[in-house]
Chains A and B, each alone.
Chain A
Amino acid sequence: MTSGSLDIRPNAVAGPRLHNGAYREGTTSIRSDIEIPLQAPVLDSRRCGMKPLSTESLRSPVDFRGRRLVGSDTVTVDTNYICQEPAPVSSHQPTPPINSDSLRRLCGRLLSMTHQFPALSAAQKKDLHDTALRIVAPGKGILAADESVGSMAKRLAQVGVENTEDNRRQYRQILFSADERINGCIGGVIFFHETLYQHSDSGVPFVKMIRDRGIMIGVKVDKGVVPLAGTSGETTTQGLDGLSERCAQYKKDGASFAKWRCVLKISDTNPSRLAIEDNANVLARYCSICQQHGIVPIIEPELLPDGDHDLKRCQYVTEKVLAAVYKAMSDHHVYLEGTLLKPNMVTPGHACSTKYSPEEVAMATVTALRRTVPPAVTGVAFLSGGQSEEEASVNLNAINTCPLAKPWILSFSYGRALQASALRTWRGHKENQNAATEQFIKRAEAGVNSLACQGKYTGGENGGERGQHLYGPSHAY
């Protein structure tokens, strides 16, 4: 990651203060300021290319009282890492000024802080965090092209195409042949296992085609849902056996992130406590294993939109599910900055008779996330879950313009919502390939356009409050 300058104006990352004292929350356009330019851990002098200093030349940094810091685990490093000049030893000295350079080194040192039985080294954490930021770089989303063989059968059947390996290959080729216009739209592509090892007609590996666009490669690693006995049709997700070895192999084969989908549904009795706890637990195990191999885990606890429940019920359940997910993440020592979340938007069930506006969907969604997803999570990339291409874009747009503070990067991880038009255009005919690719590029650009309206407020000093009144009082959510 390049150094860049750190903006340490007070409240730089929290947004400007409005003159009536109201606290204007940060806009996502300020996000780039919070990317801490991380140095290699200062512990490792080889990577820094520095020679160990003799103890005579060692002057340890001083604290705010001007006292020399005692002992250090950074003994081989340049000691001016906290202050540019050493403060005189006097209790009346002001705190040495921080500049962006010293603060950068400070961040590097502190990110090397270990936990009790540390799961990851500072270097591993940095890699994971960097990768996560690249996948959801401002304005970019994820193409979920990881449909299993069974799922592809359904898709291809809709356009009258036989579900063969080569047809699946042809279809993915349509997506991956998109030109450089998608470089600014797509930050990552999720592959199904089979696709990772397929090539284009001209023999270029798909992985290479994607990587050459500067797009990160992800892989679906779960092995589908299995029933939870004693529940009312609920499931957990399998795939943990040998996951560590599989991750190591995927990493070698070019993947830098992974995806695992858990499924919950809403009904009178569901989701049950067991379903919530068990799915949260397997998600956390999966994350823990992925991170050991330098793979960023995308966490997907999907709440199905089936049913006649209203928006409120979906919000309530989403909050309970996400609270359990993040408690499990904490229990399993998962490094949150090196993860992404792929949640459902909060929507009413498909059979609900009440209709809601995109603004209501947005308010319910953002409120639920604010109550459960720690700010340390790098990004939230919504699934489309059966919404039409247009609906998914409109809702994402509304989420981005919702006047509540959103401390994570917001993005999309769409399958059908990006591919439907392309699939329909192709219909299995070679001569339709270019037109189909065009359709895909259009949807990708539309997705980005939904993200482009980030941080717009309804204007004025009380814009935040006024904006909230448009959507109904936020406290009602």
Chain B
Amino acid sequence: MTHQFPSLSPEQKKELSDIAQKIVAPGKGILAADESTGTMGKRLQMINVENNEENRRYFRDLLFSVEPIANSIGGVICFHETLYQKADSGKFFPQAIKDKGIVVGIKVDKGTANLSGTDGETTTQGLDGLSERCAQYKKDGCDFAKWRSVLKISDGCPSALAIAENANVLARYASICQQNGLVPIVEPEILPDGAHDLKRCQYVTEKVLAAVYKALSDHHVYLEGTLLKPNMVTAGHSCTKKFTPQEVAMATVTALRRTVPSAVPGICFLSGGQSEEEASLNLNAINQMPLLRPWKLTFSYGRALQASALAAWQGKPANKAAAQQAFSTRAKINGMASKGEYNPSGSADQSSMQSLYTASYVY
């Protein structure tokens, strides 16, 4: 049985679908460890650590070598550099990660580019030669990829152009990845900057996701072999009204139910500047929502998984165990939150409560 000009064979579809299911297996989520060199610089600067290749390697190794994070982590997103570095054990990182039964992913976009004639809006570049790069990444041990598009909310934003253009590049990226056996994680992030309230964010999220899934359909993307990485629906950071995790959860799940087809196997939320604890509580509330949720709802957290570990490490080898313990704890908590089983016992520490919000966050 064939489609009109089928883009994938049944075997290719099965491989993609299996990879996606493995990443979002029950109780598991994604560790986003794909901070670019510049972004890692900002992180390390906060704990007075020099931003050199070895320090970046050391910290990633600290995270990846924790036992047994495979219970809560289904996939790790790496930055290009990290893919070709080695763990202390001597193994290349992709191998070390795979040996734990965790799927290796790679960030493939090349950052944002301005859209002229808009109010500071952007699209994302990286399509040139993407097919060849994906083929190479697949050989080097990756099975999924990530591409981040960015939109913002203001009086005039997001514009129709920004929505359409970002949806289109996301669909092109997804199509190319699938041709090369990589599951594309589709990330249309709507920044939390601004004074808008929860309902505005929900409205915009619904419009953006509707455009994304129309584009994916137009580009013949195999939905069962993709994952979505959206923002949770939250109020803007300068909004005076505060909302509970249950309200965030209700707005988020409602928006997703209206736009994301149930063929998509999993939705892995970005943390977008929420504190570690906030991100866990919101994810937990989402998984307790009494609305039918036909996709897995889990995490793809960067800062919200690593902040405590970074703070504990302080660049000192003597703190390695403490840092690993901090990371392990957050991973476990988020694993439970992805099943709606997280019961905070009230001993959240200072760093997990700190908001990790940075204005207009850029990787």
Contacts and interface: CB of A to CB of B under 8 A. Distances in A.
Interface of A: 6-8, 10-14, 17, 21, 23, 25-26, 31, 33-34, 36, 61, 63-65, 67, 69-72, 82, 91-95, 98, 103, 106-107, 109-110, 113-116, 310-313, 315-316, 319-320, 323-324, 326-327, 330-331, 336-337, 367, 370-376, 405-407, 473, 475-477
B219 to A, nearest CB: 11
Instruction: Kindly list the 4 A-B residue pairs having the minimum CB-CB distance in the complex, ordered from nearest.
Output: A10-B340, A330-B210, A323-B217, A475-B13
A311 B3 CA distance: 9
> For the complex, would chain A's binding face be called helix, strand, loop or mixed by DSSP majority?
loop
Interface in B59-117: none
Contacts of A63: 242-245
Contacts of A113: 198-199, 202, 251
Interface in B182-205: 198-200, 202-203
B344 interface: yes
Contacts of A71: 240-241
A91 B353 contact: yes
B246 A316 contact: no
Contact of A327 (B210, B242, B244, B347): B210
Contact of A82 (B211, B244, B287, B340): B244
B257 A17 contact: no
B327 to A, nearest CB: 22
Contacts of B57: none
B313 to A, nearest CB: 24
A106 B243 CA distance: 11
Which residue, of A6, A14, A109, A311, has the highest number of chain B Cβ atoms within 10 A? A14
A110 B250 contact: yes
A371 B223 contact: yes
A466 B347 CA distance: 45
Nearest to B256: A375
A441 to B, nearest CB: 32
A10 B291 CA distance: 11
Given A64-B244, A69-B241, A330-B207, A375 B294 contact: yes
Given A69-B244, A109-B247, 9 more contacts: A10-B287, A11-B287, A33-B290, A71-B241, A106-B246, A106-B247, A323-B214, A330-B207, A372-B261
Contact of B288 (A8, A21, A371, A477): A8
26 contacts: A10-B339, A11-B287, A14-B293, A21-B25, A34-B291, A36-B291, A63-B242, A63-B245, A69-B242, A82-B246, A91-B353, A95-B245, A110-B247, A113-B199, A113-B251, A115-B203, A323-B214, A327-B213, A330-B206, A330-B258, A336-B258, A376-B254, A376-B257, A406-B262, A476-B1, A477-B1
Contact of A473 (B10, B244, B296): B10
Contacts of B287: 10-11
A281 to B, nearest CB: 13
A34 B291 CA distance: 6
A75 to B, nearest CB: 12
B164 to A, nearest CB: 11
Nearest to A310: B1
Contact of B261 (A36, A95, A371): A371
Interface string B4-40: 1000001001100100000001100000000000000
Give the residue among A110, A115, A319, A324 with the most B Cβ atoms within 10 A: A110
Contact of A7 (B203, B214, B290): B290
A94 B243 CA distance: 16
A106 B2 contact: no
A23 B224 contact: no
Nearest to B8: A475
Interface of B: 1-4, 10, 13-14, 17, 25-26, 198-200, 202-203, 206-207, 210-211, 213-214, 217-218, 223-224, 240-247, 250-251, 254, 257-263, 278, 281, 285, 287-288, 290-294, 296, 339-341, 343-348, 353
Nearest to A364: B1
A312 B296 CA distance: 28
B153 to A, nearest CB: 10
A11 B339 contact: yes
Contacts of A14: 292-294
A369 to B, nearest CB: 8
A65 B348 CA distance: 11
A106 B346 CA distance: 24
A475 B10 contact: yes
A21 B344 contact: no
Nearest to B9: A476
Given A103-B290, A110-B251, A323-B213, A95 B199 contact: no
Contacts of B198: 113
A266 to B, nearest CB: 10
Residue from the set A10, A25, A34 with the largest chain B CB neighbour count within 10 Å: A10
Contacts of A92: 346-348
Nearest to B340: A10
Contacts of A93: 346
A64 B10 contact: no
A116 B203 contact: yes
Contacts of B202: 113, 115
A110 B296 contact: no
B207 A367 contact: no
A326 B17 CA distance: 24
Given A370-B263, A374-B261, A475-B13, A12 B290 contact: yes
A214 to B, nearest CB: 25
A13 B259 contact: no
B293 A70 contact: no
Nearest to B281: A64
Nearest to A83: B244
B242 A326 contact: no
A312 B353 CA distance: 52
A98 B296 contact: no
Nearest to A104: B290
Nearest to A22: B26
B10 A476 contact: yes
Given A17-B26, A330-B210, A25 B1 contact: no
B261 A327 contact: no
**Which residue, of B224, B242, B340, B348, has the highest number of chain A Cβ atoms within 10 A?**
B242
B216 to A, nearest CB: 9
A473 B14 contact: yes
A367 B263 contact: yes
A402 B130 CA distance: 38
Contact of A70 (B199, B218, B240, B294): B240
A407 B1 contact: no
B51 to A, nearest CB: 32
Nearest to A98: B246
Interface centre among B211, B292, B347 (most CB of A within 10 A): B292
